[in-house]
């Protein structure tokens, strides 16, 4: 998104409070089911790239390690694989890549730690994958989170982000599940679809690039069963993590 539009967003938020994203961004917003050259992110020298989310992003990272570009700090999943490709492809840009995903997180958990684990890092590119636990906990632990709460909390999070970091470039991962594998039973549907739709709406509302992970995992099952890509239906295998990293890299020009 260009600087003038981000400046307008910042002034609108500060001047009028938390208006709806649609009214702030109008028809200029975009979300992509496949990234085109016009929509991809151009990396600049000294960019700070942050991966945020739940266990799919966390994947065993050392949470006491706050260093950029560090294998232990990046975990063992798609964030590490994407970071490896970024750092290999753009050695002259002095990129700094962080991962602050935490297993089990929902949007309210992100809200509680957003200042320390996102805003304080001052990312110029922010990648968020959140939502599967917001629904899953209603199935396995009796949480009362509704899809409307998921969406409104997510919106609040991004309003705050744009107020503090008006020029940040957003990548929104669509929450996904492999139906019929592991934990993913018929009880998930059709309710889970509404959470996915909300994530897509949010990408459009806030001018982020959407990564359509559900479609990506669905298409992958044409070449191998769902468990090959996500053994429990949610957490990617090594093959699934690489597939996610490759899709993430498609967002970069």
Residues with catalytic roles: 55, 232, 235
Give the distance, in angstroms, between the CA of residue 226 and the centroid of all CA atoms in the same chain.
Answer: 22
* Extended strands (E) in the chain: 48-53, 96-99, 125-129, 169-173, 209-211
Q: 73: closest CA among 83, 63, 82, 81?
A: 63
70: left (phi over 0), alpha (psi -120 to 50) or beta: beta
Burial 8-23 (b: 16+ CB within 10 A, else e): bbbebbeeeeeeebee
Q: How many CA atoms lie within 13 A of 251 on its CB side?
A: 24
C-beta of residue 43 within 8 angstroms of C-beta of residue 95: yes
Burial 87-103 (b: 16+ CB within 10 A, else e): beeeeeeebbbbbbbbb
d(CA 240, CA 78): 8
d(CA 244, CA 236): 9
């Amino acid at each position: 998104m260009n600087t003038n539009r981000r400046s307008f967003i910042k002034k609108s938020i500060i001047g009028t409070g938390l208006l709806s994203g649609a009214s702030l961004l109008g028809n200029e917003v975009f979300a992509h089911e496949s990234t085109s050259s016009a929509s991809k992110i151009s990396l600049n020298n000294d960019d700070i790239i942050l991966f945020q989310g739940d266990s799919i992003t966390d994947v065993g990272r050392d949470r006491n390690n706050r260093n950029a570009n560090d294998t232990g700090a990046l975990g063992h999943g798609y964030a590490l694989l994407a970071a490896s490709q970024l750092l290999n492809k753009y050695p002259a840009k002095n990129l700094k890549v962080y991962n602050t995903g935490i297993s089990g997180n929902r949007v309210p958990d992100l809200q509680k730690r957003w200042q320390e684990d996102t805003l304080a890092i001052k990312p110029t590119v922010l990648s968020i994958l959140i939502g599967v636990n917001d629904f899953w906990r209603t199935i396995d632990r009796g949480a009362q989170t509704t899809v409307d709460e998921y969406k409104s909390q997510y919106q609040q999070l991004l309003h705050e982000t744009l107020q503090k970091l008006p020029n940040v470039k957003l990548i929104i991962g669509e929450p996904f599940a492999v139906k019929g594998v592991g934990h993913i039973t018929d009880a998930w549907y059709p309710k889970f679809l509404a959470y996915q739709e909300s994530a897509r709406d949010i990408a459009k509302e806030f001018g982020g690039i959407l990564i359509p992970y559900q479609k990506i995992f669905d298409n992958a099952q044409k070449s191998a069963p769902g468990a090959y890509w996500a053994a429990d239906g949610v957490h990617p295998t090594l093959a699934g993590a690489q597939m996610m990293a490759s899709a993430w890299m498609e967002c970069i020009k």
